[in-house]
C-alpha cells in the first residue's frame, strides 16, 4: 500500500492528528516546533499556528471553536485565532523533565491526557489524567515513562493506552458513570525497535497503532492479534486517525527528530503526513463537553 497523498509538513515531531468533520479539516501538532497545523481538505491549503507552549495533544470542543489542549505544563482551552489560553488544570506532578504528551476525548466527552519523562532520566514519573465537566481533573494512572496510544472502543467501554519505552499497549475497562479505569491487562507487545505511539480505532473495533522506529502502522483485532501491517516511508510514524468526508482515509503523522543526515537523505518525506486508503472506516472524534 502506498500513500495517495503526502502533505509535506517537515515536522520535527508531528503528533495527535485529528479530523474535524464540521470544517472538513485535518489538524495535528508539531510538538517540538510549538505549532498547530490545519489542513483544508478540499482546498489542500495548510495553515500553521504558533502556540505559547509545546502542544502534546488536543481535542475539539462541543459548540465552539476553541481546542481543549494539553500544553507542556497543563491543560487549557485554547483559541487558535486569538492565541488566548484559559487554563483548566496544571497538575502539581508537572515538574522539570515532565510534560504532557498524548491525549484524546472519550465517548462521554472527557479529555484524557498523559505525561512523559523527557531527557536522560530513567524514572517513571509520568501520569495519566482525565478532565471532565467543569474542569474536574482526576489522576488515573502513574509510574509511566511516555504516555501514548490513547483511544477508546466504539462503545466507549474500553480504553487503550501505551507506555512506549516498555513496548506495551494496555487495555482497561472504563467504568461509568464515574469514568474510572479498571482491570488493566496487556493488549499487545511490540517487537524490539518498535515503540507503540499514537493510535486510533476503526468501526470494527480494531486498533491502528503507529510503530515509532519500525516505519509501519499495525492493525490489531479487538483480541490483540496482528491483522495488517502498512509500511510508511518514514522510520518514525507517530500518530494516526481516520479522515476525509467518509472517514475512510488513514492519516499518519511522522517525525524527523534525532535522524541523521544519512537517514534523512534516505527518507525525504520524514516529518510529512501520509494519507492512505485504509479499506475500512474510522469513527467520528468525540468532542469535549465543558
Q: 214-266 pLDDT, tens per residue?
A: 999 999 999 999 999 999 999 999 999 999 999 999 999 999 999 999 999 99
Q: What is the full DSSP assignment across 262-277?
A: HHHHH-TTTT-EEEEE
Instruction: Determine if the peptide bond prior to 197 is cis (ω within 30°).
Output: no
pTM for the whole thing?
Answer: 0.97
Distance of CA 141 to the CA centre of its chain: 18
Residue 271 belongs to some domain of the structure = yes
Strands 147-152 and 5-7: unpaired
Residues facing 78 on adjacent strands: 67, 85
Residue 290 belongs to some domain of the structure = no
What distance in Å separates the CA atoms of residue 74 and residue 81, rounded to the nearest whole number? 20
pLDDT of residue 32: 98
Task: Give the chain's domain count.
Answer: 1
Does residue 120 surpass a pLDDT of 80? Answer: no
Q: Are 160 and 151 in contact (CB under 8 A)?
A: yes
First to last CA, the chain: 40
Residue 289 belongs to some domain of the structure = no
pLDDT of residue 132: 96
Pseudo-torsion of CA 61, 65, 70, 73, nearest 10°? -130
* Overall residue count recorded for the chain in this entry: 290
Residue 225 belongs to some domain of the structure = yes
Residue 191 belongs to some domain of the structure = yes
Residue 119 belongs to some domain of the structure = yes
Average pLDDT over every residue of 34-38: 98
List pLDDT tens digits, range 167-179: 999 999 999 999 9
Residue 91 belongs to some domain of the structure = yes
Among the options 102, 106, 163, 197, which is catalytic?
197
H helices within the chain, ranges in order? 261-266
Residue 285 belongs to some domain of the structure = no
Average pLDDT over every residue of 268-279: 97
What distance in Å separates the CA atoms of residue 69 and residue 199, rounded to the nearest whole number? 18
**Which structural domain range is residue 173 located in?**
5-277
- Of 194, 147, 199, the closest CA to residue 167 belongs to 194
Does residue 119 surpass a pLDDT of 90? Answer: no
- Of 68, 45, 55, 47, the closest CA to residue 13 belongs to 55
Q: Is the dihedral of CA 89, 92, 96, 97 positive or negative?
A: negative
Residues facing 128 on adjacent strands: 114, 141
Say which CATH number the domain at 253 has.
Answer: 2.120.10.30
Whether 197 is catalytic is: yes
Amino acid at each position: 500500500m502506498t500513500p495517495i497523498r503526502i502533505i509535506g509538513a517537515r515536522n520535527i515531531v508531528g503528533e495527535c492528528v485529528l479530523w474535524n468533520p464540521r470544517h472538513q479539516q485535518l489538524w495535528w501538532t508539531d510538538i517540538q516546533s510549538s505549532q498547530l497545523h490545519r489542513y483544508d481538505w478540499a482546498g489542500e491549503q495548510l495553515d500553521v499556528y504558533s502556540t505559547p507552549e509545546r502542544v502534546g495533544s488536543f481535542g475539539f470542543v462541543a459548540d465552539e471553536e476553541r481546542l481543549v489542549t494539553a500544553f507542556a505544563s497543563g491543560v487549557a482551552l485554547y483559541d487558535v485565532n486569538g492565541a488566548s489560553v484559559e487554563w483548566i488544570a496544571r497538575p502539581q506532578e508537572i515538574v522539570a523533565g515532565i510534560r504532557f504528551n498524548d491525549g484524546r476525548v472519550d465517548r462521554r466527552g472527557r479529555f484524557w491526557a498523559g505525561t512523559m519523562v523527557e531527557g536522560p532520566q530513567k524514572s517513571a514519573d509520568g501520569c495519566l489524567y482525565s478532565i471532565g465537566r467543569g474542569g474536574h481533573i482526576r489522576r488515573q494512572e502513574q509510574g509511566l515513562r511516555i504516555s501514548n496510544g490513547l483511544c477508546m472502543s466504539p462503545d466507549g467501554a474500553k480504553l487503550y493506552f501505551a507506555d512506549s519505552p516498555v513496548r506495551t499497549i494496555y487495555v482497561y475497562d472504563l467504568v461509568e458513570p464515574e469514568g474510572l479505569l479498571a482491570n488493566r491487562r496487556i493488549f499487545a507487545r511490540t517487537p524490539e525497535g518498535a515503540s507503540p505511539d499514537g493510535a486510533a480505532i476503526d468501526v470494527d473495533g480494531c486498533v491502528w497503532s503507529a510503530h515509532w522506529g519500525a516505519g509501519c502502522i499495525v492493525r490489531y483485532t479487538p483480541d490483540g492479534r496482528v491483522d495488517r501491517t502498512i509500511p510508511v516511508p518514514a522510520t518514525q510514524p507517530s500518530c494516526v486517525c481516520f479522515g476525509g468526508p467518509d472517514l475512510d482515509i488513514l492519516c499518519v503523522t511522522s517525525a524527523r527528530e534525532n535522524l541523521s543526515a544519512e537517514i534523512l537523505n534516505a527518507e525525504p518525506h520524514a516529518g510529512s503526513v501520509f494519507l492512505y486508503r485504509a479499506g475500512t472506516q474510522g469513527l467520528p472524534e468525540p468532542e469535549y463537553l465543558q
